[in-house]
Chain A
């Protein structure tokens, strides 16, 4: 991991192409959202019937629209956290799940089901909010644990290593809980599948809020990421106080990935691939890289979700499986076609 060489002259900005790309990504997403209202088990006929058939209207308003928007928003969050993670760890292979958020989310759900799943009043407020809330909390706690174990955010290697340890240990605890209480396996599985089919308007609202906050926050700190890409020593010599900046960015990363995982389960490769795709199209500094990666992630997940819904209709392929296969192929291609030395992959 030679410091920052993957970003060839990171401070070069090519004038117009970045905003053009943003515009293209956004308009494609808009088209996707419109298409999303039409794709599903009953196809476009629901659109035509929506005027006088209340069920068709419900299918469009309460199922297709929120899940399509939800897929886009989850993708926005994943793309944002991917760019953030890669900048933060100065490693183009950094994945937003690296700090243990995914396994934390799983354990959160498992713990919730263990505590309240058997016998408790399932209609209670705690439980209704519970599963997504528990996943979110689990993700945040796992990241905090990683930070504690790595004794802060100063050492990238230590941070990554702690992240791996936390992932493995929490994963083991999750498996243990499912062995103790096999009844929770079903719910666990449908939580971790990586699917948009359970999203509702409150998921959309939540993810939208988190995304706006995280984007605004990271945009203001993007200068620090640019400095970081030149190496820690350089960043410090530029007068950057690394510790609080890192802590803030990791907080944003945890928030973004926690919200995405809690609402959509585990969706592989979107966070990893989105920044790569952006970098292969334009050369930008981190402020634009984060925005464009986010838009790219949104478009990727939205497209994958539409394909997953359309290809196997009326059955439904979990979109997580879809992104795993497609993303895997793309990254393999990237790995083989690029100059290994230059890219240090």
Chain B
């Protein structure tokens, strides 16, 4: 096609060169990527002014070495510490739209929230949605970021996550393998199902989940269900702890009677419940809990 143009116009020596150079910027460097909504987003060049409205995406961008490209993050983004000096654009659910616009970002990374993404796109911003529920989604997110930045870091970053998870697995004593764990994500109670990223981590650590697969990723459980399942170990964030003993029948549960409850601090909890590049560290925290409680099957 270009060759045809050139041959048609070759009487003018300057024009073909000009056309070629346009063709180069036009075809070779602009690229299209499909996000998790199924929307095709086109990039003229890798973004340099990014707003992230999700802590796990903030962490992923930084893990891939692009912390410096972030110009705005949501209020919950608190890792790595470098992001604390970046402008806060409000909570993920209540972002300050005009603040985002005023930061002149060339890319907004966010999770699925049609209301917010629609408004941002109306205002002419480029939105890329990335949603992670499982381990492989995190890898996919990293690969998408690689494609966005035109870099090659996804495998390296993912490998270090994998290594950390393996290390955590090896640290769990043989006697504690196969113990049955109840992991509470938030009061409701919502649990981590085996197919969620937390559930996958538990499986990797060699322990069992009291929640069956068919209940979904983060099912809302009947508190009675947990009593009946009688887990060997309970992992819970410490701000969910308040009403734990008030739940009917919970005082009588073996795990609670024998103090086999790990309470995660805010920091630990942030690490464990974010589907991102710190899942290896999350695995280590859970492994530590299992080991420290010395639970046997």
Beta-carbon nearest neighbor of B117 in chain A: A122
Interface: B9 (CB within 8 A): no
In A283-320, the 8 Å CB interface with B consists of: 314-318
**A42 x B102 contact (CB < 8 A):** yes
Interface size on B, residues (CB 8 A): 36
Known A41-B102, A182-B218, A195-B94; judge A62-B123 contact (CB<8 A). yes
In B231-289, the 8 Å CB interface with A consists of: none
Interface: A81 (CB within 8 A): no
Residues in chain A near residue B209, CB distance under 8 A:
none
Beta-carbon nearest neighbor of B100 in chain A: A41
Residues in chain B near residue A122, CB distance under 8 A:
37-39, 114
Known A62-B123, A122-B37; judge A315-B96 contact (CB<8 A). yes
Nearest chain A CB to B108 CB, angstrom units: 15
Residues in chain B near residue A317, CB distance under 8 A:
94
Residues in chain A near residue B93, CB distance under 8 A:
186, 189-190, 193
**A59 x B39 contact (CB < 8 A):** no
- Among the interface residues A113, A179, A195, A315, which one has the most CB atoms of the partner chain B within 10 A? A315
In A192-246, the 8 Å CB interface with B consists of: 193, 195, 197-198, 200
Known A55-B102, A122-B114, A186-B113; judge A316-B38 contact (CB<8 A). no
How far is B74's CA from A315's CA once the two chains are assembled, in angstroms? 10
Beta-carbon nearest neighbor of B118 in chain A: A128
Residues in chain B near residue A193, CB distance under 8 A:
93-94
Nearest chain B CB to A139 CB, angstrom units: 17
How far is B91's CA from A317's CA once the two chains are assembled, in angstroms? 10
**A55 x B104 contact (CB < 8 A):** yes
**B114 x A117 contact (CB < 8 A):** yes
How far is B89's CA from A186's CA once the two chains are assembled, in angstroms? 17
Residues in chain A near residue B116, CB distance under 8 A:
190, 198
In A45-74, the 8 Å CB interface with B consists of: 46, 55-56, 58-59, 62-64
**B114 x A41 contact (CB < 8 A):** no
Beta-carbon nearest neighbor of A179 in chain B: B220
Residues in chain A near residue B122, CB distance under 8 A:
62, 200
- Give the interface size bracket for A toward B: 35 or more
Nearest chain B CB to A121 CB, angstrom units: 7
How far is B123's CA from A241's CA once the two chains are assembled, in angstroms? 50
In B91-140, the 8 Å CB interface with A consists of: 91-99, 101-102, 104, 111-116, 118-119, 122-124, 131
Residues in chain A near residue B102, CB distance under 8 A:
41-42, 46, 55-56, 59
Residues in chain B near residue A189, CB distance under 8 A:
93
Beta-carbon nearest neighbor of A130 in chain B: B114
**B123 x A316 contact (CB < 8 A):** no
Interface: A17 (CB within 8 A): no
Beta-carbon nearest neighbor of B99 in chain A: A41
How far is B37's CA from A131's CA once the two chains are assembled, in angstroms? 16
**B104 x A318 contact (CB < 8 A):** no
How far is B38's CA from A316's CA once the two chains are assembled, in angstroms? 30
Interface: A16 (CB within 8 A): no
**A42 x B98 contact (CB < 8 A):** yes
How far is B113's CA from A193's CA once the two chains are assembled, in angstroms? 13
Interface: B88 (CB within 8 A): yes
How far is B101's CA from A40's CA once the two chains are assembled, in angstroms? 12
**A55 x B119 contact (CB < 8 A):** no
Nearest chain A CB to B154 CB, angstrom units: 24
How far is B104's CA from A58's CA once the two chains are assembled, in angstroms? 11
**B101 x A187 contact (CB < 8 A):** no
Beta-carbon nearest neighbor of A184 in chain B: B112
Known A62-B123, A182-B217; judge A316-B94 contact (CB<8 A). yes
Contact among B94, B115, B131 with A131 in the assembled complex (CB-CB below 8 Å): B115
**A40 x B112 contact (CB < 8 A):** no
The 4 A-B residue pairs with the shortest CB-CB distance, nearest first, are: A41-B99, A63-B98, A316-B96, A198-B119
Q: Can you list 10 A-B contacts with CB-CB less than 8 angstroms, sorted by A residue number? A: A46-B102, A55-B101, A117-B114, A127-B114, A131-B118, A187-B113, A187-B115, A198-B115, A198-B116, A200-B122
Given A46-B102, A314-B89, 12 more contacts at CB 8 Å? Answer: A41-B102, A42-B102, A58-B123, A182-B218, A183-B131, A190-B113, A190-B116, A195-B94, A197-B97, A197-B119, A315-B75, A315-B96
Question: B residues near A, CB below 8 A?
Answer: 37-39, 75, 87-99, 101-102, 104, 111-116, 118-119, 122-124, 131, 216-218, 220
